[in-house]
Amino acid sequence: MKKLQVVYGTVLFLAIIFVAYMYGINFNSMSETELVNLSLIWVPCVVFGVSGLLTVKKAKPLIHAIMYTIGSIFLLAFFFMEIWPLL
């Protein structure tokens, strides 16, 4: 279990560093479209890290984290295909 916590924490930490770089340091040099497209990378990583840390005490925590991550990818795809064009 300890190894999985390290994996989840590392993925979450790297995703937060990536987001901080994108939105804090590199914000003015990227278009809105690029920022939105890059959310396809960092959102599943954040979901994987957070859901992994929250489910680490359950049976098969890696399966739970992967399922939540896949679900977040589908929800994000739905958002970009159905809701984003309406904005």
In the predicted structure, residue 18 carries a pLDDT above the cut 90? yes
Greater confidence (3 vs 87) lies with 3
- So where are the chain's domains? 2-86
pLDDT value at residue 37: 86
Region 67-78: what's the mean pLDDT?
A: 95
pTM of the model: 0.88
| Neighbouring residues of 23: CB distance < 8 A, sequence distance ≥ 6 | 35
Percentage helix, strand, coil, to 5, in the chain?
85, 0, 15
